[in-house]
Amino acid sequence: MRPSCVRCGKPYGRRRTTTESVKWLDGESKPEYQGNGIVLKERYHTKTGTRALLERFHLKVPDDYVDNEHIAYREIWDGESWSGGYEPFCTLRCALEYARKAYARNQQTRTKMVK
């Protein structure tokens, strides 16, 4: 379940994903995903995508890459992990507002105790 901000109640965060590379040779079919995660996105590179082209797009090139291989990159999410935000707040603005209100409340009680 996506986390909610304790101040404003707005959902926040991004799915925490892992990237899996899949290789197969010309003439073979692409291997299907066998895990229990959720495949969010797949990107493909064919035999025309040489090592230099893959590196230009900042994609990890397997060490045993052969020019007649096809490569697919899968973004996999486990269905429950989220990251980002200023946990348990959605933004730094919400965190600061919460802290300022708590500080102001604390100052009010201190002045009442002194009088």
Question: What is the per-residue pLDDT across 20-50, written as a single tens digit (0 to 9) for each?
Answer: 988 888 888 989 999 999 999 998 865 555 5
| CA atoms of 75 and 81, how far apart (whole Å) | 13
Q: pTM, whole model, 2 decimals?
A: 0.64
Domain boundaries, the chain: 14-114
3-state SS assignment for residue 111: helix
Question: What is the per-residue pLDDT across 66-82, written as a single tens digit (0 to 9) for each?
Answer: 667 788 889 999 999 99
